[in-house]
Amino acid sequence: MARVTDPARLVGTWRLRSWISTGEDGSVAEPMGRSPEGILVYTGGGTMITTIGLPGRPCITGGDILRGPPDEIVAMATTFIAYSGTYRLDGDDVIHDVEMSLFPDWVGTRQRRHVSLSDDGSRLMLSADPMMVRGRISAQRLEWERIRD
């Protein structure tokens, strides 16, 4: 994996291949399972959007997009991540300036991700410094595969 110095190398659509969360005690977890679903898009104009979810998420009883049983709504919200905004490179990192997010705490924040790219440009690695995920402080590492430029 190599350093990314040209933001044009990020432009495209990426599919999530793995998400590994490593706790301070060295324990390893997969927050969205062994085969997480996810799409990450970087545009040439500086916009980014990502969605990540647990495969096989159940439907909401009644099929109402904005209402359902509280336990199903909680399950829906805790098995999906979505945010968008702008991006830029800063040294060995990509900065996501979050404008919209399913997790409202991130709106208006800068999410820093350490970034590297395979030599052929087909694999992207994003990692984050330790943060709270599923009730524990852990470092995140997500591997993405390019599916479209």
How much of the chain is in helix, strand and coil states, percent to nearest 5? 10, 55, 35
Tens-digit pLDDT profile for residues 70-97 = 999 999 999 999 999 999 999 999 999 9
Q: Which CATH homologous superfamily contains domain 7-148?
A: Uncharacterised protein PF14869 family, DUF4488 (2.40.128.490)
* pTM as predicted: 0.93
Tens-digit pLDDT profile for residues 118-131 = 999 999 999 999 99
User: For residue 24, how far is the Cα from the chain centroid?
Assistant: 20
Domain boundaries, the chain: 7-148
Looking at the DSSP bridge assignments, the partners of residue 80 are: 53
